[in-house]
Structure 1
Amino acid sequence: MSEQRGNLKQIEQKKSLRLYRRLAFVTIEIALIAAFLSYRHNITSLEQLSWLPEEKVNVETPENATQNNTDLAELLYKEVRILCWVMTTPKNHRTRAIHIKRTWGKHCNRLLFVTSEDDEELGETVVINEVEDKYEVLWPKMRIAFERIYEKYANETDWFFKADDDAYAYIENMRYFLYAYSPEMPIYFGYNLLYGGRKDEVYMSGGSGFVSSREAVRLFVESAIVNKSGCDINNHYIPDDVAIGECFRAVGVIAGDSRDVHGEARFYLFAPFMVLMPELINEPFWYFNYSFYNPRSCKDCLAKYPMAFHYISPADMYLFEFFGYEFWTIDLPNEPEEVLPKKLSWDDVVVLETDNIWNTS
């Protein structure tokens, strides 16, 4: 009798064990199905989100994220009008110029391309075919471009920024710097160079570009190239940036100092890595002898608000555009609120003497 009771107890225990196992399997199956359905729901939601118009995508922004001061940029867009014009050629329309239009050119108040053939995809162009379209004959091309652009747009812009088609410019930083200056001042800014190393012949490098006031361009167009005194318009083979520097000097246009308060340049002859990596720039590199201000190359030598770089590939233009306008960072140290610089009178404008210790001319 006791043996039968023991067998019945074992049978009931086995039944209970099978029941628990079955319940466990059912629970696991339900969990797996729920996880799969949740995964599919999330994937479907992401797919639907990717097709929504950009303005309907609501993404929460961390409170400690930082981006460009857009309010200040919008104010300066109206206060400091910059017309950008880029020197290019038909063979570079698709490989260089179009990428400027899609990146930094969007931030100008007006963007023009100076070339020898019209191109609808580039947008507004200034077509110059009076002179041979080649690198060795850039000076007459620049001179004619300045004449035509000034005649058409002088009344709707304050500053004229000229750049090559392998430059990248931060136009917002340029506006911030130029805010202190009146476009009625005869002045222009860029990377100051010494022609032949001579301290009395200062001009701005044309590669990364230079920005000229409306008054500077007026004096160039209405006086320098008309009177021709100290402004050689007949020598087509003189470097264009040297030639316009000569013409500007002839009519009293000042080569301004665009460095920041730490003495760092804001226009650069090269890409950023050339400034940040000292081992890439060694003496007797011409950069040292011909720079007006003492050239520097070190990890901390890049200005906080740079304005232009040279020798920039199209791929790097998109990279700069992303990190400059779309990239956000978290937990940056709190920066003081930006304050616009004080407006300067002409008497307040100071251009320091050369401090280039490498130049012995």
Structure 2
Amino acid sequence: MLMLLTLLAWTSGLSSLSVREQLGEHVHALELVSVLPKPSTSFKILCWVNTFDQSHDRAASIKATWGKRCDKLVFMSNIEDKSIPTTRAKAPPTHLDLWQKHRDVVRILWREYGASYDWIFKCDDDTYVLVDNLRHYLATFNETTTKTTPLLLGQRMTLQWWELRRQFEWLHTTTLDSMSSERRWTVEDTLESTRSQGGLYYTPGGAGYVFNVPYLKLLVESLDEHYCLPDEIIPDDWAISFCMRYHGIVPLDTRDSQGRERFHQYSPERIFFESHDEEAYDHDIYQSIYQENNWFSDHFGIGWHNEFNIGKKMDMLGSVKVKQVTPVSEKQAAKSLQKFLETHHKDLDADQLNVQQDVRAQLELILSHLQK
């Protein structure tokens, strides 16, 4: 272990820092995570990682760390790179084309692997996963159910109805008049049907999500149906839930018996230090910010957004636990937030400042819907 830690520090150019020091503010949350040993299970997991040519170094890190614990690891990119290797998906490497990339990839997976693997874990190349913890969780599901009933598991979030509508308005105008009548009915029906629960339940991609073979098969069979929005420019993570809702399939609640999340959309640092915001969580699900963040006690996490490329360092850290946790004070949270704003605002270029102006315009659009 000492040799590995020294090697890690040397390759990162921080030879004087320990792995814990390199993890920085992430370590406070990671100290609360328990890593389970690999269970004795018969099912197999295929891990599908989305990447693109400018971030293949991340793919290489995954291959060298948590990816080795999958039964099959596949990287989907915009180019074929035999050194990793990657499989080319027929879609441009842009955020706007993620749904089209997703559609192409699931067809590839079904064609190449079919029912060879019991579960498919999908994530991006900035996600870190505790695969053995994932195996333990999947082992709690009835084997007969997993072979016959489509299941989608991840951090279940709500895409508010006004935000869902806005996803279509920028392309189809506020009245959605440019949509075909069938497509427009699909969108309006979903908006109306999910409004009472706050919006569409979906699994965001930051921490990854997992689905079984029956889900994959049904998704592939449904991709060209009008309710699966085959030619829309929308995010892939909520598009699949939009599509599968028409089969009566919604993401399951994956929290543990104490109401703590297993999948984490955000980075460990953000989850641990996030300040209280009354509007930040779904009041129908959570009673407090501590339930929303769900990291303030020992638990068996599965995956989270690895936005600062800390995956290899976390892999070296292994399993650590603490017996007592002191809640973060408002002063500490404010200090962390101020540091973030100071660090990022000074580096904003003209394009990023324009994005901030666009966000204000989007908020005004949301407000106009709320006032109707």
Taking structure 1 as the reference length, the TM-score comes to 0.63
Identify the match of residue 128 of structure 2 among 155, 165, 168. 168
2:93 matches 1:93: no
Equivalent residue for 1:206? 205
SS at match of 2:123: strand
Query: Is contact 2:244–2:250 with CA below 8 Å preserved after alignment?
Result: yes
Equivalent residue for 1:247? 243
SS at match of 2:126: coil
CA distance in 2 between counterparts of 1:291 and 1:105 reads 36
Equivalent residue for 1:42? none
Q: CA deviation at 1:302?
A: 5.4
Query: Is contact 2:259–2:294 with CA below 8 Å preserved after alignment?
Result: no
Residues 150 and 299 of structure 1: is their aligned pair in 2 closer, same or farther, counting only changes over 3 Å?
closer
Query: Is contact 2:261–2:294 with CA below 8 Å preserved after alignment?
Result: no
2:118 matches 1:158: yes
Identity of aligned residues (%): 27
Identify the match of residue 263 of structure 2 among 259, 267, 283. 267
CA distance in 2 between counterparts of 1:80 and 1:162 reads 17
Identify the match of residue 155 of structure 2 among 166, 176, 191. 191
Query: Is contact 1:269–1:309 with CA below 8 Å preserved after alignment?
Result: yes
CA distance in 2 between counterparts of 1:91 and 1:148 reads 22
2:44 matches 1:81: yes
2:87 matches 1:126: yes
Identify the match of residue 146 of structure 1 among 79, 95, 106. 106
Residues 290 and 328 of structure 1: is their aligned pair in 2 closer, same or farther, counting only changes over 3 Å?
closer
CA distance in 1 between counterparts of 2:111 and 2:283 reads 34
Equivalent residue for 1:288? 281
Per-residue Cα deviation, 1:33-55 (whole angstroms, up to 9, x for no partner) = xxxxxxxxxxxxxx9xxxxxxxx
CA distance in 2 between counterparts of 1:302 and 1:267 reads 15
Residues 176 and 295 of structure 1: is their aligned pair in 2 closer, same or farther, counting only changes over 3 Å?
farther
State the structure with bigger RCO (CA 8 A, min sep 6), 1 or 2: 2
2:313 matches 1:319: yes
Residues 256 and 300 of structure 1: is their aligned pair in 2 closer, same or farther, counting only changes over 3 Å?
closer
Equivalent residue for 1:39? none
Query: Is contact 1:270–1:309 with CA below 8 Å preserved after alignment?
Result: yes
Identify the match of residue 225 of structure 1 among 223, 226, 240. 223
Residues 132 and 295 of structure 1: is their aligned pair in 2 closer, same or farther, counting only changes over 3 Å?
farther
Q: CA deviation at 1:294?
A: 5.7
Query: Is contact 2:81–2:87 with CA below 8 Å preserved after alignment?
Result: no
Identify the match of residue 76 of structure 2 among 114, 117, 121. 114
Residues 127 and 232 of structure 1: is their aligned pair in 2 closer, same or farther, counting only changes over 3 Å?
same
Equivalent residue for 2:140? 180
Q: CA deviation at 1:276?
A: 2.1
Equivalent residue for 1:304? 299
Identify the match of residue 231 of structure 2 among 222, 231, 234. 234
CA distance in 2 between counterparts of 1:147 and 1:127 reads 13
Residues 256 and 239 of structure 1: is their aligned pair in 2 closer, same or farther, counting only changes over 3 Å?
same
CA distance in 1 between counterparts of 2:156 and 2:105 reads 22
Q: How many residues align structurally?
A: 255
SS at match of 1:238: coil
Q: CA deviation at 1:135?
A: 1.4
Residues 172 and 69 of structure 1: is their aligned pair in 2 closer, same or farther, counting only changes over 3 Å?
closer
Residues 74 and 190 of structure 1: is their aligned pair in 2 closer, same or farther, counting only changes over 3 Å?
closer
Per-residue Cα deviation, 1:90-146 (whole angstroms, up to 9, x for no partner) = 00112x2211111111111111111011112213x2211x32221111100011101
Q: CA deviation at 1:299?
A: 8.4
Identify the match of residue 258 of structure 1 among 246, 254, 257. 254
Give the letter aligned to residue 313 of structure 2: L
CA distance in 2 between counterparts of 1:118 and 1:295 reads 46
CA distance in 1 between counterparts of 2:278 and 2:255 reads 23
Query: Is contact 2:260–2:295 with CA below 8 Å preserved after alignment?
Result: no
Query: Is contact 1:277–1:299 with CA below 8 Å preserved after alignment?
Result: no
Please identify the structure whose Cα radius of gyration is greater: 1
Q: CA deviation at 1:291?
A: 9.2
Identify the match of residue 277 of structure 1 among 273, 278, 293. 273
Give the letter aligned to residue 53 of structure 2: P
Query: Is contact 1:264–1:303 with CA below 8 Å preserved after alignment?
Result: no
Query: Is contact 1:162–1:210 with CA below 8 Å preserved after alignment?
Result: yes
